Structure 1
C-alpha cells in the first residue's frame, strides 16, 4: 500500500468562464441581502446588489482607461472594501490584479513592481508606493458598467506573492479556475451555506481573508463580516456574538489573543476555522472549553490554497491536520515515489488539481505528475495527514510565510553587521517570533536595528529579537545552521 489519496476528480470547471462573474453570479438574485458588513465601527453594509453595481462600474472605469486584457494592476490599497471591489473589477474585464499587502515597504513594493511590470498602480493614502513608471490612480475609476470577459478557465486571473526560498518574494500565477476549485473547501473545511455569516479576523488585503472571508462566502451567497481597521484581537469575540457570526476564521495567533480574555456567549457560532500555521492543541482545547465549538484546521499553501482539512462532518483525527478534501489527489513522496502509510515524506499535489497554480512568475509547473511541496508529512492508510514540519527554513509569522533569506538580505553588510541568520524561536509555549542572530565587531543598538528593519521589511517580517553572537554555526557544506541557533537559544530560554 502507498501513501496516495485519490477519490476521483472534482466536477470540471465550466467554460467559457470568468472568476469574478462566477463569484457574483447570484448577486442580482440576492439583491438587498448583505454581502459585506464591516463590523466594530459605524455600520457599513454593502448589499449584493450594491456590490455588483460597484464592481461592474469600477470594471467599466478600468476598461475606459484603455488598458488591454492581460495587463497587470498592482494594488497599493489599504484595509478597505475597495480592495476586494478592485480585485473583482480587474478580473471582470480581463486584467490581472496583484493584491500585494499594504504593509510592504516602498523597497518591497518596488521589487514586486520590478518583477511584474504593472500597467497601473491603484493607490490609497498612507500606503507605500513603488519606484516604478506605471501611472498611479488615487481612487477607483468608475464608468458605465462593463460586461465580463469570458474565456478559457485555464488563463491567468491573478498573481499573489509569497516568501520564497530564494530570499526574495515569489510571484504565483493563478488561473480563473482557482475559484471553482475552492468549492472543494465548502464541504471539506467550511461546511459553508448560503445562510452563514462568516467573520474573518484578517484585513481585506490578506489573501487568507480574500479567499476564505470574501470570495467563498460571496460565491455561496453568504454574508461576509470583516473587522474595521484597528480592531484589536481581544474585541473579536464580542463581534462574533454581536453580529451573530456562524463561522469565525482566523490564524492561530488571533485565537491565542482572544482567549486571554473572558468570552461572551456566542449562540450562533457553529465552528471556527484556522489556517496559516499549525494550530496548537492547547488553543483548540481552550476554545472548545470557552465556546462549546470546535476549530477546524486546514493545511495549504499559496500555490494551491488549502487542500487538507478537518470539517464539521469529518473532524480531523487527533494530532492530525485532517484529510485531503474530496476531489483532491495527494501523495506523500520520497525521491519522487510514494512511501508506505505512516512514513514521513514530502507532501505532493497532482498537477491536474484545478486549484494548483499555473506556475511561478516566470516559469510553468515543473514536469511530472506531482507538484512537490516543502512540507514533511505522513499519511495513514485512511488518508489522515500528520504535519511534521517544513523541509526548508521557512518561518511563520502570524500566519504569513517569511523566508529567512529575505530578512537576512535586509541586514547583510549594513550597520557594521558581518554576518546574520534569521530563524523563528519559541519564546513561550506555542508562541514563536522571528529572531535575527548577527555578528559584528560590537553590540549594535537595538533601536538602530529596529529602525533599519522598518525601512526595508513589512512589519510581519521584522525581527522581534536581535541577538549578537561571536560566530554563526555552519555545517560541513558551509551553510548556516539555523536550526542549531534556534535549538541553542530555546535551550537557554528553558
Structure 2
C-alpha cells in the first residue's frame, strides 16, 4: 500500500512518454514512489511528505477541473509566499490549464495589463494581493475539491503549451514567455551540470515560493528526483537562514548573490551537512564566492540563464567554474557564440515556444535564438560573461559592461557595490559607483580602479548609500540606482 490509492499511482517510467506527457505528473512521479519521504519543509510551519504533496495537487486539480474551463485556458496566479503557489501551479497543469505566475507586488493597473495580454480566463488569488479588472477571482482556499486522479491528469504531446512566465521587464516592457511541457525535461541537464542533485538531498532555497527561481531550482527539481525541498518562512532574517541550513541539515543552499552577501555579515553556525551552494539571478562577484569558501569550507556554483531558456551555462561540483567565468555549457545544451553573442539552438527542449502574441506563441524565427548575453570563450571552454546587450552603459559614448567594472572593484572594502550612469550639472553622463559600508578613501578607490580598469571604465563619482535597490530576492534593480 502506498497511501496514494485515492489519487491513483503511476510510475516515473509511465511519465516519460513524450506523446502522453504532463509536466505536473512528471514532477511528482519520483515522490509517489517514496510517498513517506519528506517533500516540503517550511521550518515551524509545514512538513509535507511526497504523499501529502501529491494529494494537495490532486485536490486542487479537481477543484480547477470542476470549473469547466477550456483546455489550455490561461490561469493568472496572484498568490503570495506560501505553498499555495506551487500547488496551484502544478494543479493547473495537471488539469490541462496554463498557469501564468505574476509577482505579488504588482499594482492593479500593472496586473490588469498582463491579464489582458494572456487573455486570462481565471485569476486565482489570495487576500491582500492586487487583482486585475476583468476575470473572476477565486480564492485559492476555495478551490480544493474531490481529487482528480493521477490517471486522469490531462496528457498530450510534450511540446504543447504548458505555462507562461513574464520577463522582469528590465529591458523594457515585460514579455510573455510561452513554454512547453517539455521544458521541465531540459531541467535534468542542471542536475549534474549545475546542482550535483541526488535523491537524498535536502535543498534549502532562500527565495519566496512565488519566485520562478525558487519554483524551478528550489521545488520542482528536488521533487522530480524524489528529494526534499526546504523554504524559509516569510520574514526569515539572514541569521535565521544560517540557523536553518544547520538545523534542517540542508545539503544544498540556493540563493541570489545578495542573500549570500547578507549571510556573510552574520556569525554563521557550523553547517556540517552542506555540500555546496547555488547562485543565480545576477553575477556572483568572485570575492563573495571566495569569502563564502573561506567561511564555510564549501563552494558556490553559479548559473547563467534567462526566462526564455532557464539556465544554460554553469559551474558544478563535478566541474567548478574557473574564477571570473560563468562556467561551461551544461551537458546536453547546444550553444554557439557568434560575434561575442551567445545563442541557443532551437532544438533545446528548454527553449521557449515563443513570446505570447495575439492568443498564441509567436514561433521562433531561425535555427538559433540569441540570448542577449555577451560572452568570451576561453581555451578551456569556460565562458566569461561580459553582460547583456541591454545592460550596457554608455557614458561619454563608450560602451561599458557594468558587470566587468563591478568585478574589477570587488576587492574594495565595502559591503555592496554597483555601477551606473549619472547626469552631472554640465549635462554629461558619467560612470558612478554606488556602495554600502564605511566611507571609502576615494583616492585609494581610484588607485584600485586605475590598476584594474582602462580609464574610460573607471567611476568618476563615488556615492555612499545605506542600501542598494534590490528586490525581495536580493537581485539588483540597476535602473533605480540613480
Deviation for aligned residue 1:139: 2.6
Matched residue SS, 1:493: strand
* Distance in 1 of aligned mates of 2:216 and 2:259: 18
Contact 1:121 1:136 in 2 (8 A): yes
Is residue 431 from structure 1 mapped to residue 416 from structure 2 by the alignment?
A: yes
Q: Quick one: which of 378, 382, 388 aligns to 2:376? A: 378
Tell me which residue corresponds to 1:35. 39
Tell me which residue corresponds to 2:112. 110
* Distance in 2 of aligned mates of 1:472 and 1:365: 43
Tell me which residue corresponds to 1:413. none
* Distance in 1 of aligned mates of 2:98 and 2:346: 23
Deviation for aligned residue 1:319: 1.6
Deviation for aligned residue 1:126: 1.8
Matched residue SS, 1:122: strand
Tell me which residue corresponds to 1:314. 319
Tell me which residue corresponds to 1:55. 57
Q: Quick one: which of 83, 90, 94 aligns to 1:88? A: 90
Post-superposition CA distance 1:288-327 (Å, at most 9, x none): 1111000001111111001111111111122211100110
* Distance in 1 of aligned mates of 2:362 and 2:319: 35
Is residue 167 from structure 1 mapped to residue 167 from structure 2 by the alignment?
A: no
Matched residue SS, 1:24: helix
Tell me which residue corresponds to 2:349. 354
Tell me which residue corresponds to 2:367. 369
Is residue 128 from structure 1 mapped to residue 130 from structure 2 by the alignment?
A: yes
| Larger mean Cα displacement after TM superposition, 318-327 or 78-87 | 318-327
Deviation for aligned residue 1:77: 0.5
Contact 2:177 2:356 in 1 (8 A): yes
Q: Flag the structure with more relative contact order, 1 or 2, with Cα contacts below 8 A and sequence separation at least 6.
A: 1
Q: Quick one: which of 202, 205, 209 aligns to 2:210? A: 205
Contact 2:274 2:298 in 1 (8 A): yes
Tell me which residue corresponds to 2:12. none
Matched residue SS, 2:319: coil
Deviation for aligned residue 1:435: 7.5
Note closer, same or farther for the CA distance 1:231–1:322 as it changes in structure 2 (3 Å cut). same
Note closer, same or farther for the CA distance 1:237–1:118 as it changes in structure 2 (3 Å cut). same
Query: RMSD of aligned C-alpha atoms?
Result: 2.6
Post-superposition CA distance 1:52-97 (Å, at most 9, x none): 1110111010010111111011111010000000000000011000
Structure 2, gaps ≥5 residues long: 1-15, 394-401, 435-455, 464-482
Tell me which residue corresponds to 1:444. none
Q: TM-score, normalised by structure 2?
A: 0.79
Deviation for aligned residue 1:378: 0.9
Matched residue SS, 1:276: coil
Matched residue SS, 2:213: helix
Note closer, same or farther for the CA distance 1:328–1:127 as it changes in structure 2 (3 Å cut). same
Matched residue SS, 1:14: coil
| Larger mean Cα displacement after TM superposition, 135-144 or 222-231 | 135-144
* Distance in 2 of aligned mates of 1:95 and 1:302: 20
Number of aligned positions between the proteins: 406
* Distance in 2 of aligned mates of 1:316 and 1:353: 22
* Distance in 2 of aligned mates of 1:488 and 1:349: 30
Tell me which residue corresponds to 1:19. 23
Matched residue SS, 2:390: coil
Q: TM-score, normalised by structure 1?
A: 0.77
| Larger mean Cα displacement after TM superposition, 216-225 or 355-364 | 355-364
Contact 1:60 1:143 in 2 (8 A): yes
Tell me which residue corresponds to 2:159. 154
Post-superposition CA distance 1:20-67 (Å, at most 9, x none): 00001123321121100002xx24101110111110111010010111
Question: What is the correspondence of 1:72-471 to structure 2 with a 5 Å cutoff?
Answer: 72-130=74-132, 132-140=133-141, 141-146=143-148, 147-164=152-169, 167-334=172-339, 345-362=340-357, 363-393=361-391, 431-432=416-417
Contact 1:321 1:387 in 2 (8 A): yes
* Distance in 2 of aligned mates of 1:179 and 1:68: 23
Deviation for aligned residue 1:364: 2.7
Contact 2:431 2:458 in 1 (8 A): no
Note closer, same or farther for the CA distance 1:492–1:213 as it changes in structure 2 (3 Å cut). same
Deviation for aligned residue 1:488: 9.9
* Distance in 2 of aligned mates of 1:216 and 1:198: 9
* Distance in 2 of aligned mates of 1:251 and 1:333: 29
Note closer, same or farther for the CA distance 1:54–1:361 as it changes in structure 2 (3 Å cut). same
Note closer, same or farther for the CA distance 1:13–1:162 as it changes in structure 2 (3 Å cut). farther
Contact 1:175 1:358 in 2 (8 A): yes
Deviation for aligned residue 1:15: 2.6
Post-superposition CA distance 1:99-128 (Å, at most 9, x none): 111122222212211211211111111211
* Distance in 2 of aligned mates of 1:313 and 1:166: 34
Contact 1:393 1:482 in 2 (8 A): no
Q: Quick one: which of 66, 70, 73 aligns to 1:71? A: 73
